[in-house]
Amino acid sequence: MIEKLQSEALELLQSLIQTQSFSKEEEPTAEILTKWLIDRGVEVKRDLNNVWATNKYFDEHKPTILLNSHHDTVKPNQAYTRDPFEAKIEGDKLYGLGSNDAGGCLVGLMSAFVYFYNQENLKYNFVLAATAEEEISGENGIAYMQEIMPKIDVAIVGEPTLLDLAIAEKGLVVFDGKVTGTPGHAAHIPNHQNPIFKALKDLEWINSYKFPKVSPFLGEVKMTVSQINAGNQHNVVPSELTFVVDCRVTDQYTNAEIAEIIAEHTECEVIPRSLRLNSSSIDPNHDIVKSGVALGKKTYGSPTLSDQCRLTCQSVKIGPGDSLRSHSADEFIYVQEVYDGVAFYVNLLKKIV
């Protein structure tokens, strides 16, 4: 059965690549995914552009594992030299937009779901969710589905990790800072309300501050001043300075706690754009992690965001492909990685269900 699922997964991935599915425009791929599951006897549900299902013998008294990946893609960048929608296999590579991020993961998780769909007396329930708007952290994807799906106890989120286990993932808060001052002519006596100099103390604190709690898997919280803007003439002291801080949050803090700490230590206005992209993690002793380690996989902490940041349960990020290929020109995944993803997900879950 595994070999059949592997072959069908590759064909499904090619169909997805050939079908444009930019964020918020995923309806065509949602239709492909729905039909693929129905053709394999799955009772499918559809909410907006999210396709989901529960295993046939779902039992609300059992804990539930979510199998989640996304079917939206970014738009191809200008460096592409190939047709991003051709889904061409050359040698051992399958080229195409979304092949690596996260098509290989999605078809692998769907195959594993089909493998277990009709089985009785499982230790866990399964919920499969092929969701939309992941690439923009949109509100109509996994965040929307959490209110609709059954209660989830733990999630496997499909993203390219070379099939290693990302058992923690950094969250993100973007802060907008503003310092106001008194504008004036640059030739006049020193202006002590120049916002450029008023900002220096806070900018230096942001650059040098070390959050005391360090994550064993994600390390330190990292703050980076990524943008500064002030003034538009050489001879005029500006009335304000604005800056942007990119803050990568570990599982040792909530985003709200980070915002409070920054507010306590800065004099200027520093406002978070959103507090919704939280860090995530899973107990290293969870059955899923133990199963992956038993299959020879490594555990690590991931600095990159995924739909894990919108989940409220424990979660782990696992998938075929390499994160370094995501959003790259002439994106590809190795055909063997697609096959390995199907087999790995099945074997990972076999050990625990």
- Average per-residue pLDDT in the chain? 95
From CA 248, how far away is CA 244, in angstroms rounded?
13
- Mean pLDDT of the region 175-192: 82
How many CB atoms lie under 10 A from the CB of residue 78? 6
Q: Where are the alpha helices (DSSP H) in the chain?
A: 2-17, 27-38, 104-117, 142-145, 195-208, 255-265, 287-294, 335-350
Average of per-residue pLDDT across 223-227: 96
Residues of the chain by 3-state class (helix, strand, coil), percent to 5: 30, 25, 45
The two structure tokens encoding residue 324: 């370094």
Is pLDDT of 4 > 70?
Answer: yes
Start-to-end C-alpha separation, the chain: 18
Q: What is the DSSP letter of 269?
A: E
CA-based Rg of the chain, rounded to a whole angstrom? Answer: 23
Question: For 96-119, what is each residue's pLDDT tens digit?
Answer: 999 999 999 999 999 999 999 999
Interatomic CA distance for residues 99 and 146, integer angstroms: 26
Instruction: Give mean pLDDT, residues 55-73.
Output: 98
Structure tokens at 208: 């040098």
pTM of the model: 0.90
116-157 confidence digits (pLDDT tens): 999 999 999 999 999 999 999 999 999 999 999 999 999 999
| Predicted confidence (pLDDT) per residue in 286-313, tens digit | 999 999 999 999 999 998 889 999 999 9
Which among 317, 168, 312 has a CA at the least distance from the CA of 251? 168
